[in-house]
Structure 1
Amino acid sequence: MPTPGRDSAVHIAYRTVDKKELPGAISIINPPQYLDKNFGNYPLEGSAAFVGGNNFWNIGAPLVLIDGVPRSVNDITANEIEQISFLKGANAVVLYGSRAANGVMLITTKRGRAGAAIINVRANSGINVPKSYPDFLGSAEYMRFYNQALKNDGLPALYADSTIARHAAGSNPYRYPDVNYFSSDYLRKVYNTHSANAEFSSGTGRARFYALAGFQNQNSLLNFGEGKKEHNTRLNLRGNIDLKLNDYISTYVNVSTVFYTNRNALGNYWQRADSLQPHRFAPLIPVSSVSAGSKNAQTLVSGSRNIIDGQYLLSGTQQFLTNPISDVYAAGYNIFTSRQFQYTSGIDVDLKNVLKGLSFHGQMSIDYSNTYNESVNNSYAIYVPTWTSTAAGDTIAQLAMFNKDSKPGTQNLSNTWSDQLIDFNVHLDYVNTFGQKHNLSAMLMADGLRRRQTGDYQYRTNANAGLQLAYNYDHKYYAEFTGAVVNSTRLPAATRVAFSPTVSLGWLLNEERFLKGSGVVDRLKLTAAAGIVNTDLDFSANGYYLYNAVYSPTAFYSWADGTYTNRTTTISRGENLALTYAKRKEINVSVEGSLFKSKLDFLASLFYIKKDGMPVQNYSLYPGYFFTGFPETSFVPYANFAANRYQGFDFQVNFHENVGAVKLTIGAAGTYVATKALKRDELFPDSYRNRAGKPVDAIFGLQSRGLFAGQDEIDDHEIQRFGTVKPGDIRYADQNGDKVIDEKDEVMIGRWGSPFTGGIHVTAQWKNLTLFVLGTASFGGTGIRSGDYHWVTGAVKYSAVVRNSWTEATKHAAGYPRLSTLGSGNNFRFSDFWTYSTDRINISKVQLTWAFPQKILQQSFVRGLSLYVSGSDLLTIAKNRELMELNIGTLPQTRFFNFGVKGEF
């Protein structure tokens, strides 16, 4: 294992090197160096401001390794981490084989230190404040706009003016409801998050240990019924032990467990609250309003098992037999439980008695994870009132009951899922120096993984062997060859094994005469690397037999109105026993150094990557009769055809300076990635429709030309084949001049991702007071306003976007299409009418920390004590901030304000 406490030690594939010997295209962050001024439990919080290339150049999801084992970043908290290494270049990841072709995030946990016991305790308490809620119309306004939609469709109004007025007046919200599911009647203003952890470290030259216990609890925004009991809790425990058995053999054991529980009311409150119109019914009706003279109604009241607060019955309609309010009160609850156990053990053997510089290292891991839902499912009756007006006011004359109250008390288990992983790796290392200047190292390694999850028909496996040869002359000139033999059961036997080679060269310029002794350049190193990584990541998760032809029985009716069935055999793909790996072909160049007596340090990389041979079915290469739609049949095999390109740069720079009594550090990082689809299976007659030549994440849609103001404009315009077109509908551009607008007129209208991401962080320390500020940014991305909130049609719940909808009176100023109760295939489809820029600058974190002066603590058992306050996700500066801060159908985004204390003993 690596020596703990070495600030210059960097963990990379199967080894630890000194920071000055680090190959290019690798970045690191060390949480122990910044957690005291920038506390957070999530390991990657704000990483875009610290690390260039933290997104691994947008190639795809990286392989996450915790202590060398494939695990999830959610399995660990920042407190447990010694270092996070971002292995970006092909030369940095190739030893991990096929699975690492998108990059590797290597997380290394803390280890014990020899010496006196060290105990760190930290506690936090914070509030989560919602940024915004969806803005839906109230009942009266909804009715007016719905009537307008009917008018646009040439239909009579549904809601009378008198009905609208009664809902607007609010004199009887039970008879004429105006329900706001996001009001303080149902939701708290904030919800709470509390966390605490304790770290223990001690040891001797023979044995060291590190242990951590952490706990986190969070409640809910819901403030009624089962919602008051909603919470999630997380308990995590870790123990890392290092033993030196003798002068030659050392061993270690890492154990981690995570216990997570989430309790929530049944029914999806946030999703249903975003879909249920405000005027349909009042969720609760007062018992006091039920006429005393109605025996039938009083009988139903006395028989109810769900009298809320002793005053209210659950309400609804025959159409809406359940609703989000009643669900939270009476449907029951669900407890989601997750349990994880992770065990790793290893051995390090110094074989210097066999050969100087030779060592052996082996590691084995066993992980178990399981999740399940435990629910109590109740049914409940809802009551539909019949109101009547009397001299004394509105009274419920009759009640109709639907469903029945039932609380069986049975606990139901469902959605059980398990995951078992066994991983091992061994490597033989050789490190030696000859003639004081010739430094040679070599590694021969093998790695194997076997994993099975619920639903898998076979094990998920990974196996690879690798060789690394490295040489440097006087720590000035560097050369390295790294290669891996990979094996994948997703490929046919003939192509299952492949070799991935990489090479890299490095040059430490500051050791040359022309820079040595420079008052400006302290360190300057150039590194260049190239390589090919074979990967099966582009095969789907269940694509183990894409090379085989697949035949299956099917049926379709052919005569006698479906009385008789023809049985047929269909084929969904042809055979290709030459199917092989996709290849990541890469060149990258990095520069790293420091200037002005270490006041300025920097790291930057340029990269060019071609992802070639991704498997697709090449329909365009085969005649049309090779595939049919009914029954769905295809003789077309998967082939290595599609290709993408990724090129760009990343950087990170830090500046350190003392300004009077203030220690100032300013850091910035950024990543720019330009992507291009090089090859796609397509045969469009119009080049503008080609996906090839466009960004990999390109969005295609129609170009809009405003709204039709009248029927004369529609008559003079090209035919739009997306349904009936009326005044107030979106007008589209005819791209190919065929006088018809259809899917053939779709062009690129944006890209999902942001080509540039980055951030900046500032630390100002004055005596015992430290101010930390973190900002992040992204530019170049595109969003699409879609879903029922933005695409309002039919009888869906109307949002505030309809206030600017087209009418005859507003036809020259409207910014939203006409409303319709009949649907609109013309308007609600991808077009630049609905796009918006996702460019943003975020003030992601501000923390103020005060450390107690040592002169106060020196007479106590407390080694250190600090207090801090912080705010997270404080501000978004963006043209479309309101859109980007709005969640629909889920828990709202929040700002988090925290108070914490840390003690060292």
Structure 2
Amino acid sequence: MKLNILIAILLTWQAGVMGQDSVVHVAYKTIDKKDLPGAVSILNPRQYLDKHYGTYPLEGTAAFIGGNNFWSLGSPLVLIDGVPRSINDITANEIEQISFLKGANAIVLYGSRAANGVMLITTKRGRPGVSQINVRANSGITMPKSYPDYLGSAEYMRYYNQALQNDGLPALYADSTIANYAAHTNPYRYPDIDYFSSQYVRKLYNTHSANAEFSSGTDRARFYALAGFQNQNSLLNFGEGKNEHNTRLNLRGNIDLKLNDFISTYVNVSTVFYTNRNALGNYWQRADSLQPQRFAPLIPISAVAPGSKDAQALIKGSRNILDGRYLFSGTQQFLTNPITDVYAAGYNKFTSRQFQYTNGIDVDLKNVTKGLSLHGQMSIDYSNTYNESVNNTYAIYVPTWSNGTGTDTITQLSMYNKDSKTGTQNLSNTWSDQLIDFNVHLDYVNIFKQKHHLAAMLMADGLRRRQTGDFQYRTNANAGVQLAYDYDHKYYADLSGAVVNSTKLPAGKRVAFSPTASLGWVLSEENFLKGSDVVDRLKLTASAGIVNTDLDFDVNSYYLYNAVYSPTAYFSWADGTYTNRTTTISRGENLNLTYAKRKEVNLSIAGSLFKNKIDFLASLFYIKKDGMPVQSYSLYPGYFFTGYPPTSFVPYTNFAANRYQGLDFQVNFHQTAGAVKLSIGAAGTYVTTKALKRDELFTDAYRNRAGKPVDAIFGLKSQGLFANQNEIDNHGMQKFGTVKPGDIRYADQNGDNVIDERDEVMIGRWGSPFTGGINVTAQWKDLTLFVLGTGSFGGTGIRSGDYYWVTGAAKYSAVVRDANYPRLTTLGSGNNFRYSDFWTYSTDRINISKVQLTWSFPKSLLKNAFVKGMNIYVSGSDLLTIAKNRAILELNIGSLPQTRFYNFGIKGEF
């Protein structure tokens, strides 16, 4: 019996060391996959990275993992090797496993900070007796999906004249002027600037990357090392834009040492060096705001009249003549513009450096008590960023054109600003982040009578962090206990809890206990299912718990429980002879403020069918997040607060509450048909949310946020456009400014014949209740085809911003061509440009997110060669969006465009 136990322990240890797929990393330990609790999903990049290559760790997770959005509770706690870090600190190449810990029972040991879920990322390690070198190189092109569509100069002028006419104002642009701009005979005098044309923007840009992995080891010492590099250039094809680039160098080293039969230690070191160089001037943002007819960015010197002595003198004195042919242009109002900035304003270089160090020790205390072990880990992370820029100034010239001889000629130049290149490098926006994290846990694992498995853990975790601008350390501390039992891997019970501490709460309320419990039952081990031809394995898990959390407090709000007094405006008396300042209060004191609570019940089912051809995992969940801190004005009399001067004696209280419920699932099907191996996987998450309690006292129940989704959008219900003044006169008064024919007509919800904010109703929700995807792998001989699709349904977007809400002197986009577009105006339109269902659109979409074809060199060709394996692959990412509103969904305004990526790669194993 003792021999069997020893063999089982050794096999478990070996599986953990070798990172086999049956071992799962959960809170502070590893367990066998068959013992996995409910509401936990895992990804093993080793399984799919060769067929679905990418550097971003979470690419396509919606098609693999149910609940990959952590049930829409908020941003999860991201842990890399147990330390709070950013997902951007790591690439997919470095990862052994990603565990999605969703249920309260799975996250509770991490304390308050884990209340929204935990993404536990475990990096690769060396394997005893296995020496391996993997080298991978990639080269790809990135192509924009779309650019904003703005009106050209002549069309803009016609529509702007129409807007003036709608306002009862005379036209600004004469027909002859519009004709000159439409003719394009002289683009310098009558410019029509398209900032997204091929003159300024490439059709594509390049990305190159390479990485090399090295691993080896013995029973005594093991190591894993990775070096990766990536470089990417820019879409801009002129001036400083040609020098724009991103580079990233990342290095990782993981070392494991077995010091003796009782003590092992490990060291993890990671560094990331990132630089981004870009031209000054914010090209993409300004290109979306500057009208095309304002001025030509360049003036041809050849167009300047030779006899204009003053103009010729300015040319000779200029230090910024582009290609010996052009001066920079502008106006007295626009002394810079996106194009001349790229040529002459200089550049900015953003630098980010990160260093992460982790050291741990594992002590086997079997000489004290069989199955007892002690584990400790400490990490020190440091990162800093800064901007290094060269800031130049340059002169712009405003031309005076003449056509006295029948040819357009510049007779005069006016200069503004001056040329200056100091060569000084300016350092700015320095920022640093320092983190110290430690944890220690005492574990007990034992087997009694070969069927009774008992595990216990006593742990403590602490963190101290400080960033530039912090007045005090950001801290986290919690202690936890776990008692787990299973009988013959058939019946499971788990009691886990954490004692949490938060410095964001008053002294008497900082400590709380979070209890959770879980029960599991493997039905397939019962006589009524054992030996079934259909069911291979079927496990039910139910868990419940309460997690105390301070995540609902603002990160910098450490004193919400205190009253806050501050000086405010001056007042005077005696005809201004004397002055003094008043004192105001912005919130009252509440020394009973405490944690918000995540109260949860979930049920999971996992298993496999038909000789493991189908495996599945699904979870149902109900979560109430209660006691979120708000200033509950509705609970206090009106004299507790005033609007001017702004004063409030109302304290923060644990008042607001939300509900989250739904299900997630993932299922995989495997089948071999002749020489083709087929695998199909699907995953999805459906979440409904409800605001249970809000601080509100609306007269009309339809305005209540309580009872609506947490991410509900409120606005007016539209009834089309007013056709004439008679319709306006016979409709309720719309109190959002002057209303004229062509403006949006709104529904009167409360029947008071006045349309104002009290007529706002729910018009959608920001998030998509359902998200999911499907992945398909077809392997034939040495060829593997992988296809990944994702989708989301049920969400709503709002068309807003200057691109859709065109008013005043804003740049006009193509939306104004729509016959159903509201009345154009130069005076502003508070009536039309506000949240209403006139501007909503469905965000439902299906994406073909990835297609990759991989060819593996036949083993027969590599026999007796130093190359053990070779893969060549081509792939495309973000290839197609299938959606009713695809044009809107794929459009970025004021920033880099959305893109498609095509890649060629090669991987060698040595």
Task: Calculate the TM-score normalised by the size of structure 1.
Answer: 0.98
How many Å apart are 1:182 and its aligned residue?
0.3
- Contact 1:675–1:696 (CA<8 Å) still a contact in 2? yes
How many Å apart are 1:815 and its aligned residue?
1.3
Give yes or no for the alignment of 1:126 onto 2:140: yes
- Contact 1:557–1:563 (CA<8 Å) still a contact in 2? no
Aligned counterparts of 2:845 and 2:82: Cα–Cα separation in 1: 35
- Contact 1:555–1:565 (CA<8 Å) still a contact in 2? no
**How does 1:120-159 map onto structure 2 within 5 Å?**
120-159=134-173
- Contact 1:84–1:107 (CA<8 Å) still a contact in 2? yes
Q: Cα deviations across residues 816-848 of structure 1 (Å, max 9, x unaligned)?
A: 101000000000000000000000000000000
**How does 1:186-197 map onto structure 2 within 5 Å?**
186-197=200-211
Could you say which residue in structure 2 is the equivalent of 1:310? Answer: 324
- Contact 2:719–2:746 (CA<8 Å) still a contact in 1? yes
How many Å apart are 1:555 and its aligned residue?
1.4
Aligned counterparts of 1:312 and 1:79: Cα–Cα separation in 2: 49
How many Å apart are 1:138 and its aligned residue?
0.1
How many Å apart are 1:305 and its aligned residue?
1.1
> Bigger shift: 389-398 or 229-238?
389-398
How many Å apart are 1:563 and its aligned residue?
9.1
Could you say which residue in structure 1 is the equivalent of 2:851? Answer: 846
Could you say which residue in structure 2 is the equivalent of 1:809? Answer: none
SS at match of 2:284: helix
Could you say which residue in structure 2 is the equivalent of 1:407? Answer: 421
Q: 2:100 aligns with which of 86, 89, 102?
A: 86
Decide whether aligned partners of structure 1 residues 787 and 249 sit closer, same or farther in structure 2, where only a CA change above 3 A counts: same
**How does 1:531-550 map onto structure 2 within 5 Å?**
531-550=545-564
Give yes or no for the alignment of 1:326 onto 2:340: yes
Decide whether aligned partners of structure 1 residues 293 and 419 sit closer, same or farther in structure 2, where only a CA change above 3 A counts: same
- Contact 1:205–1:244 (CA<8 Å) still a contact in 2? yes
- Contact 2:571–2:582 (CA<8 Å) still a contact in 1? no
How many Å apart are 1:179 and its aligned residue?
0.3
Give yes or no for the alignment of 1:232 onto 2:237: no
**How does 1:388-427 map onto structure 2 within 5 Å?**
388-391=402-405, 393-427=407-441
- Contact 2:690–2:708 (CA<8 Å) still a contact in 1? yes
Could you say which residue in structure 2 is the equivalent of 1:808? Answer: none
How many Å apart are 1:114 and its aligned residue?
1.6
Identical residues among aligned pairs (%): 83
> Bigger shift: 850-859 or 517-526?
850-859
Aligned counterparts of 1:833 and 1:84: Cα–Cα separation in 2: 43
Structure 2 gap segments, 5+ residues each? 1-12
**How does 1:39-50 map onto structure 2 within 5 Å?**
39-50=53-64
Structure 1 gap segments, 5+ residues each? 805-813
> Bigger shift: 573-582 or 302-311?
302-311
SS at match of 1:717: coil
Aligned counterparts of 2:318 and 2:674: Cα–Cα separation in 1: 74
Give yes or no for the alignment of 1:754 onto 2:768: yes
Q: 1:180 aligns with which of 186, 194, 217?
A: 194
Aligned counterparts of 1:727 and 1:73: Cα–Cα separation in 2: 52
Decide whether aligned partners of structure 1 residues 289 and 168 sit closer, same or farther in structure 2, where only a CA change above 3 A counts: same
Aligned counterparts of 2:453 and 2:212: Cα–Cα separation in 1: 42
Could you say which residue in structure 2 is the equivalent of 1:811? Answer: none
Matched residue type, 2:484: A
**How does 1:244-255 map onto structure 2 within 5 Å?**
244-255=258-269
How many Å apart are 1:391 and its aligned residue?
2.8
How many Å apart are 1:556 and its aligned residue?
3.9
Give yes or no for the alignment of 1:894 onto 2:899: yes
Aligned counterparts of 1:694 and 1:238: Cα–Cα separation in 2: 47
Give yes or no for the alignment of 1:673 onto 2:690: no
Matched residue type, 1:894: T
Could you say which residue in structure 2 is the equivalent of 1:336? Answer: 350
Task: Kindly report the root-mean-square deviation, in angstroms, between the aligned alpha carbons of the 2 structures.
Answer: 1.0
Q: 2:867 aligns with which of 862, 865, 868?
A: 862
Aligned counterparts of 2:200 and 2:654: Cα–Cα separation in 1: 55
Could you say which residue in structure 2 is the equivalent of 1:807? Answer: none
Q: Cα deviations across residues 648-693 of structure 1 (Å, max 9, x unaligned)?
A: 0000000000111100000000000000000000000100000000
Aligned counterparts of 1:714 and 1:521: Cα–Cα separation in 2: 68
Total equivalences in the alignment: 896
How many Å apart are 1:623 and its aligned residue?
1.3
- Contact 1:556–1:631 (CA<8 Å) still a contact in 2? no
How many Å apart are 1:557 and its aligned residue?
5.0
- Contact 2:677–2:779 (CA<8 Å) still a contact in 1? yes
Matched residue type, 2:326: Y
Decide whether aligned partners of structure 1 residues 563 and 97 sit closer, same or farther in structure 2, where only a CA change above 3 A counts: farther
Aligned counterparts of 1:601 and 1:345: Cα–Cα separation in 2: 37
SS at match of 1:543: coil
- Contact 2:17–2:127 (CA<8 Å) still a contact in 1? no
Aligned counterparts of 1:309 and 1:627: Cα–Cα separation in 2: 65
Give yes or no for the alignment of 1:212 onto 2:226: yes
SS at match of 1:115: coil
Matched residue type, 2:665: F
Q: 2:77 aligns with which of 16, 41, 63?
A: 63
Matched residue type, 2:835: F
Aligned counterparts of 1:159 and 1:565: Cα–Cα separation in 2: 54
How many Å apart are 1:435 and its aligned residue?
1.4
Q: Cα deviations across residues 678-731 of structure 1 (Å, max 9, x unaligned)?
A: 000000010000000000000000000000000000000000000000000000
Q: Cα deviations across residues 461-520 of structure 1 (Å, max 9, x unaligned)?
A: 000000000011111000000000000000001110000000000000110000000011
Decide whether aligned partners of structure 1 residues 251 and 519 sit closer, same or farther in structure 2, where only a CA change above 3 A counts: same
Q: 2:273 aligns with which of 253, 259, 262?
A: 259
- Contact 1:718–1:740 (CA<8 Å) still a contact in 2? yes
Aligned counterparts of 1:693 and 1:116: Cα–Cα separation in 2: 58
- Contact 2:126–2:216 (CA<8 Å) still a contact in 1? yes
**How does 1:662-701 map onto structure 2 within 5 Å?**
662-701=676-715
Aligned counterparts of 1:72 and 1:192: Cα–Cα separation in 2: 26
Aligned counterparts of 1:443 and 1:116: Cα–Cα separation in 2: 32
SS at match of 2:285: helix
How many Å apart are 1:151 and its aligned residue?
0.2
- Contact 2:768–2:794 (CA<8 Å) still a contact in 1? yes
Matched residue type, 1:715: D
SS at match of 2:193: coil
Please list every run of at least 4 consecutive aligned residues from structure 1 whose deviation after the TM superposition is greater than 2 angstroms: 556-566
- Contact 1:841–1:878 (CA<8 Å) still a contact in 2? yes
How many Å apart are 1:117 and its aligned residue?
2.2
- Contact 1:25–1:87 (CA<8 Å) still a contact in 2? yes
Decide whether aligned partners of structure 1 residues 129 and 344 sit closer, same or farther in structure 2, where only a CA change above 3 A counts: same
Give yes or no for the alignment of 1:798 onto 2:812: yes
Matched residue type, 2:870: L
Aligned counterparts of 1:455 and 1:18: Cα–Cα separation in 2: 44
Could you say which residue in structure 2 is the equivalent of 1:736? Answer: 750
SS at match of 1:3: helix
Q: 2:600 aligns with which of 562, 578, 586?
A: 586
Aligned counterparts of 1:23 and 1:598: Cα–Cα separation in 2: 20
SS at match of 2:67: coil
Q: Cα deviations across residues 737-764 of structure 1 (Å, max 9, x unaligned)?
A: 0110000000000000000000000000
Could you say which residue in structure 2 is the equivalent of 1:871? Answer: 876
Could you say which residue in structure 2 is the equivalent of 1:810? Answer: none
- Contact 1:248–1:350 (CA<8 Å) still a contact in 2? yes
- Contact 1:610–1:643 (CA<8 Å) still a contact in 2? yes
Could you say which residue in structure 2 is the equivalent of 1:828? Answer: 833
Decide whether aligned partners of structure 1 residues 580 and 897 sit closer, same or farther in structure 2, where only a CA change above 3 A counts: same
Aligned counterparts of 2:803 and 2:528: Cα–Cα separation in 1: 65
Task: Calculate the TM-score normalised by the size of structure 2.
Answer: 0.98
- Contact 2:361–2:377 (CA<8 Å) still a contact in 1? yes
Give yes or no for the alignment of 1:298 onto 2:349: no
Q: Cα deviations across residues 162-216 of structure 1 (Å, max 9, x unaligned)?
A: 0000000000000000000000110100011111000000011100000000000
SS at match of 2:281: coil
Q: 1:885 aligns with which of 861, 886, 890?
A: 890
How many Å apart are 1:69 and its aligned residue?
0.1
Aligned counterparts of 1:563 and 1:637: Cα–Cα separation in 2: 37
Decide whether aligned partners of structure 1 residues 389 and 565 sit closer, same or farther in structure 2, where only a CA change above 3 A counts: farther
Matched residue type, 1:634: S
